Amino acid sequence: MYEIIQSLHSYLGYIVLIILILAVVNAISGLFSNRIFNLEKDFRISLFALIFTHMQVLIGLILYFVSANGLQAIRELGMGGLNSAARLLAVEHPFINIIAVVLITIGWSKHKKVMEAKKKFKTISIFYGLGLLLILSRIPWGQWF
């Protein structure tokens, strides 16, 4: 069970990062090019980024309860007993990534409420961009690659 969820979370991590980077680059380019907000491309790419990050959070939550590096690490060592690598996996990565996905979700719902293309691109650039930065800041890079 653990191995399957862990591999799923690990491989989906690549897809999430790629789609999120594409969504942010696309929104920033739309913002500066003054083009219309296209439903085929701009809407879809932001929607896919939203869906995949949500899937990753759900799998991450399951992983948190089945992995020895998640809740179990806190139970066994206590918050004070975690070294920085263990704290990254058990506390910082889950907490910061949930905040990141909340930001992305806020950006998604805000962009739907504005009509002007420039404002849509700006909202996605800011909220998805911040979410991406937060995610990048707390990936366990050393363990992943």
Contacts to ligand HEM by CB under 6 A: 6, 9-10, 13, 16, 53, 56-57, 60-61, 63-64, 67, 69-70, 89, 93-94, 97-98, 101, 135, 139-140, 143-144
Q: How far is the CB of 123 from ligand HEM (least distance, A)?
A: 19
Which residue, 16 or 24, has its beta carbon nearer to ligand HEM? 16
Closest CA to 145 of 57, 4, 5, 17: 17
Q: How far is the CB of 60 from ligand HEM (least distance, A)?
A: 3
Which residue, 3 or 116, has its beta carbon nearer to ligand HEM? 3
Provide the Cα torsion 43, 14, 100, 104; round to 10°: 0
Q: How far is the CB of 84 from ligand HEM (least distance, A)?
A: 14
CA angle 100, 106, 107 (to 5 degrees): 90
Which residue, 21 or 25, has its beta carbon nearer to ligand HEM? 21
Question: 122-133 burial, b if ≥16 CB within 10 A, otherwise e?
Answer: bbbbbbbbbbbe
